[in-house]
Amino acid sequence: MSAIVSRLQSSLIESDSHGLLSGCSVLLAAQPKQTELFNEACFGRPVVTAEKDKQWFQLSLEEALYLCSVLKCIKVIAENKCVKNDDELWRYMMSKKADFPYLFKAYSHLRVKNWVVRAGSQYGVDFVAYRHHPALVHSEYAVLVLSGEDGGRNVRLKAWSDFHCTLRLCGSVAKTLLVLHISKKSHTAVSCSCLECYCVEERIVSRWNPEQSRENQTMVEKELCKS
């Protein structure tokens, strides 16, 4: 995946690509060769238009900022046609999502691991993550992002019933629940550079199976008897 992302990065830099802010997403027109790379690298979702010489993609705020500030391969412009710098873009995205710093830290953390990251709202989570291309495998992880602050997204998984329902849902769609607990050393998040002060702790949460536990205990006891 890293090689594909590198090719997309080089192509976007060479073409001086610009994305257009549109609410909670960024629209970007791709050339034919870039269209294939976008699909292979799994950034954005194709938008159907009447244009035949280019393909438009709708990028999430996390995807757009990753391409702009981390890979530095696109520029993002506002409705007034002015290019937004990283700080302006950060403030805009914060105005759209109050918890954007946590979501973006989680997104970039998984992307740096060369995982594919997609929106997970249809499964009741923040993201779904693939270790390989979605054409080859189903998403392996349902990702929940929790912060080190009280309230907000931390109201999830507070009670055992929350865990139970979430794990049952993940199990029904063959996904493992991955919880990313994000804490920060600084109290402010005024720019993208502040994310260096954010730490990510990964936790895999699985459903306890009492029957399986009893079987394992029986096997251990048999082995002890033999010895």
Q: In whole numbers, what is the pLDDT of the chain averaged over residues? A: 84
Q: Does domain 98-227 match CATH 3.90.1300.10?
A: no
Burial class from Cβ neighbours inside 10 Å (0-12, 13-18, 19+) for residue 159 reads exposed
- Which residues are part of the catalytic machinery? 130, 138, 175
- Domain ranges for the chain: 1-96, 98-227
Residue 195 is classified by DSSP as G
Band (pLDDT 50/70/90 cuts) for residue 20 is: very high
pLDDT at 192 over 90: no
DSSP states of 89-119 as a string?
Answer: HHHHHHHH-TTHHHHHHHHHHHHHTT-EEEE
pLDDT digits (tens, 9 = 90+) for 39-57: 999 999 999 888 888 899 9
Instruction: Say whether domain 1-96 belongs to CATH 3.40.1170.20.
Output: yes
